A = this chain, B = another copy of it.
Amino acid sequence: MFFKFFPKNCNFFELFEKQVVYAVKAAQFFREVVPQGRITDMTLSKVKAIEHEGDEVAHTIIDQLNKTFITPFDREDIYALTMEVDNIIDMINSIVSRLRIYNICEVDHNLVEFAEVIDESVQAVARAISGMRNLKNAPAVAEACVEVNRLENVGDTMRDRILAELFNNHTDPITVIKWKDIYQDAETVLDVCEDVALIVNSILVKQA
């Protein structure tokens, strides 16, 4: 087993920043798409392209991790961070697919609101990850993590309110089935963002 100590061409911080860009792109695109009310072939292929590019960076990170002996922070934190950022992108892709599979053709104002919260949360995740390079950014990173947590709580409350509405107002069970899944997925994106914030936070604490 030959490990490289600090291989020249591997900078985990840079790679993480590169990966999170695709999460930001996916969230921005999702926010643009939801108010259009219908997922076209082009929309679907565009979000899949973003996911694919994000996957490539994730594979590069894991490959580098497996080949590197000394890492700037705990190996399991690097692994978990990559997987969870990948998860954000996958989940957004999965909601877009679901909107298409369920043949949703209307603009839903609740989902528009969710897409905005998701976009804000992913932007805060990106700020947290960019800040990790330098310990002097610790306050800004901590602030971004607090924001991600706040938005997860916002999402929780939104989902509970929206689901209660859904069950109160709709008598068509197929509609209930479809939207229950979609809102649940939307809230899960915010949960995954919170998981990322937890990992970033714990990396910060260990280095303090």
Interface residues of A (CB under 8 A from B): 1, 62-63, 66-67, 76, 97, 100-103, 160, 163-164, 167-168, 171, 173-174, 176-178, 180, 202, 205-208
Contact = CB atoms under 8 A, between A and B. Distances in A.
Given A101-B167, A103-B167, A167-B101, A1 B177 contact: no
Nearest to A156: B97
B207 A1 contact: yes
A173 to B, nearest CB: 4
B174 A102 contact: no
A136 to B, nearest CB: 16
Query: Which of A101, A103, A173, A205 is the most central at the interface, judged by chain B CB atoms within 10 Å of its CB?
Result: A101
A76 to B, nearest CB: 7
Contacts of A206: 1, 66
